[in-house]
Homo-oligomer: A and B are copies of this chain.
Amino acid sequence: MSFDRLIKGIVKMQNPTVAGLDPKLDFIPDYIKEEAYKKYGKTLDGAAEALFEFNKGLIDALCDIVPAVKPQAAYYEMYGWQGVRTLQKTIDYAKQKGMFVITDGKRNDIGTTMEAYANAHLGSTDIEGEKVEAFGADALTVNGYLGSDGINPVIKVSSQNDKGMFILVKTSNQSSGELQDKKLDDNTTIYRTMGAMCEKWGEQLMGEYGYSGVGAVVGATYPEQLGELRKALPHTFFLVPGYGAQGGGAKDVAPAFDENGLGAIINSSRGIMCAWKKEGCDPKDFAQAARREAIRMRDEIVSYIGEIKL
């Protein structure tokens, strides 16, 4: 019912980062794709199989040094229900390897519909009295535009299943300010208001280390707002996208952390997945290239925040 499991993983590995698993076909070495197409043809089934083999390689190479993975739902849905089956298999595999799984789905709806999303991704589905896990991630990203009716069902399911959520507050993209930076008549901004709502919602899911199970997504590309929000939202754990490919550096993400080096987890997707391309190494070495980049990223970030302490 909080992020305590995630926090323990971060401290144990001394690594506050998460590897994004956004496996577009372009990112996958040819030899994996050819193998998959041989079995299933150049079809959604073939593509979905290649995605899974790629993910397995990454998870195997990262699971002892990176505490969490973040599959992005869009890249699985793009490959149809077959891709969505690969999402489920990927979550399962990462959990078997001890990783904390954040499904990046930015889901949002109200009431029983939101509860259906929460049960789909974090809880279980009732089939004539049998409880079956549909996707079974540890946390889900969520969009709070609909207010409490969209968040309370996730709180309920999280509380029953020791899970958590990250709510979009200040996103990493260039146009995030179009709506999020708008000033309200009480002189605050929309993103500050959404942040304050996270802090409030989080009271229902408080953990042992001062952080609740209601986290916030805050982009690495806005270091000033990161620092401002860190101070304003002392119980809200941050998921920070925008490091690497989107332009944020280790110095930019440093304000996301508290004095113990806790309070945030920094995501890198393309930087890790495509390290083999950037390195120009043998494609068969893609997973080790990902590991080298994950270590480089970890060391760079930890050099700014020091030892991570509970």
Q: Point out residues on A near B: beta carbons under 8 Å.
A: 22, 24-25, 33, 37, 42-44, 46-47, 72, 74-75, 77-85, 87-88, 106-114, 116-117, 119-121, 125-128, 130, 132, 134-135, 143-150, 168, 171-180, 182-185, 187, 190, 193-194, 197
Contacts and interface: CB of A to CB of B under 8 A. Distances in A.
20 contacts: A25-B126, A37-B128, A43-B132, A44-B127, A72-B109, A74-B109, A74-B113, A77-B120, A77-B121, A78-B117, A80-B120, A106-B109, A108-B168, A144-B179, A146-B179, A147-B178, A178-B197, A179-B194, A183-B185, A184-B185
Interface centre among A80, A176, A185 (most CB of B within 10 A): A80
How many of these chains are in the complex? 2
Contact of A185 (B81, B132, B149, B185): B185
Interface centre among A25, A43, A111, A143 (most CB of B within 10 A): A143
Nearest to A37: B128
A177 to B, nearest CB: 7
Given A116-B75, A171-B146, A180-B147, A108 B106 contact: yes
A26 to B, nearest CB: 9
A168 B182 contact: no
Nearest to A44: B132
Given A44-B127, A179-B193, A110 B171 contact: yes
Contacts of A149: 173-176
Contacts of A168: 108, 145-146
Contacts of A190: 179, 182, 190
Contact of A25 (B72, B114, B127, B178): B127
Contacts of A177: 147
A202 to B, nearest CB: 16
A173 B148 CA distance: 9
B113 A22 contact: yes
A78 B193 contact: no
A24 B127 CA distance: 10
Contact of A143 (B37, B42, B145): B145
Nearest to A183: B185
Contacts of A85: 81
Contact of A116 (B77, B84, B107, B112): B77
